[in-house]
Amino acid sequence: MPMIIAPTASYDAEHTQPVREKLFQVAQTYLSEDELILLEKACAYAFHAHYGVNRKSGEPYITHPIAVAIELAQWGMDVQTLCAGLMHDVLEDVKTISHAQMEAEFGKTITAIVEGVSKLDKVKFTDKDEHKAESFQKLILAMVKDVRVIIVKLADRLHNMRTLSGVPKISKRRSTAQETLDIYANIANRLGMNMVYRELQDLSFANMYPMRHLGLFHAMERFRYNRSDMFMYMERNLQERFQDFNLKAEIKFVPKGLYGIYRKMKKNKLTFNKVRELYNLQIVVDTVSDCYLALGAVHSVYKPTPGRIKDLIAIPKSNGYQGVHTTLALRENFNLEVQIRTRKMDAVAKYGITANLGRNGDHAMNEWLQNVSDLQENSANALEFLEIFTNDLFSREVYALTPRGDVVSLPFGSTPVDFAYAVHTDVGNRCVASRIDDKLVPLSTVLRSGNKVEIITSKEARPSPAWLNFAKSGRARTAIRNYVKNTSRADAVQLGGVLLAKALDNVLPKKVASSEQLMQHYLDKLKENESSLEEVQYQIGTGQMLPIEAVRDIAELAGEYFDDAVFSSIRLSGNHHIRIRLGECCRPVAGDAVHGVISEGKGLVVHRDHCPELLKTPPEQQLETNWGSVGQYVNQYDAEILVSAKDGHALLADISSAISSVDSNIVSVQTVPMSQVAKGMIEFRFVLNVRDLAHLDDIIARLKQIPNVQRAERI
């Protein structure tokens, strides 16, 4: 191929010219002529700057930056990044060239990238935590300003790792490998640059444990050799089936990374022969719908492992990865993970952020960078930043599902609050409760992979500072902290005032609660303790104090000054002044686990523990409640039950006589619409009078004895 761009420096023929040619061969496939001229200018500039300096291996130093630029060109990076790659060591190593000089020659952008890389070179990751945290922050800051700094640094590190054998000192090789594994491999992974991630890991592994690496390498070779017939047979089988579906697909068996296999063996104390997952099967098709078609075709030939089918197309992984996965359990005693992708997804899978950087803009990645930048602004110190950031970056991920079956990836230990914020900030800000696998759970519940998560929102809801105790993802923590920060003190005081007044009104007799005399005693007491009413209201308003704690203090004072208000903290027994109602939403019955909520105009409303209405109220308004206290005021309860039966004549008559035979009454009955019921079945919702939970159990047992009844249960 003819070179469009003539060399402008007298490169040596032995080492430099060949690599320079290679760089231009790759670059000219996608850069314009003007850009190639700029590239040659940078090449010559770097050549002169490093002139006379050799690498430890004996080659001229310039071969290293050119190799870095070749790598960047293979990733399809823009000309600025390539130029920065060529000159990445110039500012650091060549004292005669200044920042201003380079900027005059190559402009702000390229110089800023070079400077970013030089700064990163000074970052040393030592074991001291505080120091590491600060270094890390610098690293990430550089990244947020222009992610191309990190891309150049990764290409630099990759070439250094490939040529690490040129470094004579074993201890130096080891520490470089360790740092690569700890920091750079993980960053490559986070940016979705899977090829680089894998190579950095395996090169680090080879340098840290050369013998183990070699052993595994040979074991994998043997494995491949022994299975080659089987792989060929499988490929033929699948291609035949794809033809039936009119599918064009590329099929490839790809070995897993040696380091990944090594880690798995070590963690699970396995010998190589016991590792079941050594290979992936990659299938590349033309369109998204072909991906699902191919999945079906694969399953029609080989049985999938249940629970291992992952749809990462609808909602990509946080590093932008998309694909459909399934795991086949093969007779030959190993599992094969099948990854089905379109060509575009395949490019993202291999090259991550660099697959579409600067072209159509990777949405997921921009969003992630934005998160990192938010996080940085809102972190109190470097350590906190590191803690939050590493949560997102390094911890294992969990994959939860939306009700539609879309996958949301979250840091390990995440809760429904994290899930809600991952879906949308508004969903997070308005979430009040959640269902995991159709069961109502508190927002603090830790999610596990495969959980189906549904978020219940309310227009009035607001984020609670208490969520910071369990929210894990940077995104959720930032949003919550922002909200709290933006809630002004005045707002908090006002809200606290309202909450306190409400709690007082509902707990103390009106005469007592509104007594100015009592309030004066309370103010005096606060003053004694160097506090103030405003401070108490602020603490309540920001969720640092429960309203009932303040009420308890006030009630204690009331006990001292009012004879008719003997008040024993929040135990409900013996207090005639509390109005008690049973929640119509969940219809609690004596014996159920319950909580009370003090609410305006309604007194104390008792809810069953998993009632959505209860979970919607802020935890600080929920009171421990037991039936010993409530039961004194109520002796009859309404319970709602669902009866599902085969349709037949006299069914309703059978049911009502069963109900009266156990001494209960039907308060109301509703028929569930035919459209919601299986054919030939009929369903009723009854509200019945019951004495307690035991009575309700009797009724249900009696109903189940009716021949046509298939199901009878409490709602």
- Which is nearer to Mn ion, 87 or 709 (by Cβ)? 87
Residue with tokens 């006002």: 494
User: Considering beta carbons, is residue 51 or 245 the nearer one to Mn ion?
Assistant: 51
Distance CA 82, CA 347 (A): 20
Do residues 355 and 322 make contact, with C-beta atoms less than 8 angstroms apart? no
Which helix or strand (DSSP H or E) is residue 686 part of? Answer: strand 681-690
The least distance separating Mn ion from the CB of residue 17, rounded to whole angstroms, comes to 20
Minimum CB distance to Mn ion, residue 52 (Å)? 17
Closer of 68 and 393 to Mn ion (Cβ): 68
- The size of the interface with Mn ion (CB under 5 A), counted in residues, is 2
Question: In this complex, which beta carbon is closest to Mn ion, that of residue 67 or of residue 375?
Answer: 67
Order the strands of the 637-646 sheet from edge to edge: 666-671, 681-690, 637-646, 709-714
| Catalytic one of 93, 105, 235, 534 | 93
Where does residue 471 fall: left (phi above 0), alpha (psi -120 to 50 degrees), or beta otherwise? beta
In terms of CB distance, is 71 or 374 closer to Mn ion?
A: 71
Beta carbon nearer to Mn ion, 89 or 374:
89
Instruction: Provide the residue count of the chain.
Output: 715
| Min dist. Cβ of residue 208 to Mn ion (A) | 21
Q: Distance (Å, rounded) from C-alpha 144 to C-alpha 138? A: 10
| Phi (first) and psi of residue 14, to 5 degrees | -75, -50
Nearest approach, Cβ of 29 to Mn ion (angstroms)?
25
**Cα(519)–Cα(533) distance, integer angstroms:** 10
DSSP strand E in 314-376: where? 324-330, 334-342
* Crossing angle of helices 170-179 and 194-208, rounded to 10°: 150
Looking at the Cβ atoms of 156 and 374, the one nearer to Mn ion is 156
Kindly list the distances between the CA atom of residue 357 and the CA atoms of 113, 260, 348, 702, in Å, as whole numbers in the listed order: 15, 28, 10, 68
Residue 420 tokens, joined:
């809600």
Residue 71 within binding range of Mn ion, rule CB under 5 A: no
Whole-angstrom Cα distance, residue 154 to residue 138? 16
Interface stretch with Mn ion, choices 81-89, 441-449, 465-473, 538-546 (CB under 5 A): 81-89
* Residue 43 beta carbon to Mn ion: minimum distance, rounded to whole angstroms: 15
Nearest C-alpha neighbor of 35 from the set 81, 101, 66: 81
**DSSP per residue over 526-572, as a string?**
HHHTT--HHHHHHHHHTTSS-HHHHHHHHHHHHHHH-TT----TT--
**CB neighbours of residue 544 within 10 Å:** 13
What's the CA gap between 565 and 299, in Å, rounded?
Answer: 72
Least distance to Mn ion from the beta carbon of 172, Å? 15
What Rg, from alpha-carbon coordinates, does the chain have? 34
Greatest pairwise CA separation for the chain in angstroms: 106
Residue 453: count of CB within 10 angstroms of its CB: 25
Give me the catalytic one of 12, 21, 78, 92. 92
Residue whose CB is less far from Mn ion, 93 or 277 = 93
**Cα separation of 303 and 592, whole Å?**
45
The enclosing H or E element of 344 equals helix 343-351
Q: Are strands 594-599 and 603-608 parallel, antiparallel or unpaired?
A: antiparallel
Within 460-489, which residues bind Mn ion (CB under 5 A)? none
HSE of 371 in the Cβ direction (CA atoms, 13 Å)?
22
Nearer to Mn ion, 161 or 261 (CB): 161
Task: Write out the two tokens for 36.
Answer: 């190639």
Q: Which residue is nearest to Mn ion (CB)?
A: 156
Report the nearest approach of Mn ion to the CB of residue 371 (Å).
29
Q: Which residues, 87 to 116, sit near Mn ion by CB under 5 A? A: 89
Contact pattern for Mn ion over residues 145 through 164, marking x by CB under 5 A: -----------x--------
What is the rounded CA–CA span in Å between residue 48 and residue 66? Answer: 13
CA angle 361, 365, 366 (to 5 degrees): 65
Distance (Å, rounded) from C-alpha 665 to C-alpha 687? 9
Q: Which residues of 413-442 are buried (b: 16+ CB within 10 A; e: fewer)?
A: bbbbbbbbbbbebeebbbbbbbbbeeebbe
What residue type is assigned to position 546 of the chain?
Answer: L
Task: Compute the distance between CA of residue 46 and CA of residue 189 in angstroms, rounded to an integer.
Answer: 30
Judge whether 93 counts as a catalytic residue: yes
Contacts (Cβ under 8 Å, ≥6 apart) of 158: 71, 196, 199, 200
Query: Does 221 participate in catalysis according to the annotation?
Result: no
Helix then strand then coil, in percent of the chain rounded to 5, is: 55, 15, 30
Which residue numbers are catalytic? 92-93
Which residues of the shown chain bind Mn ion in the complex (CB under 5 A)?
A: 89, 156
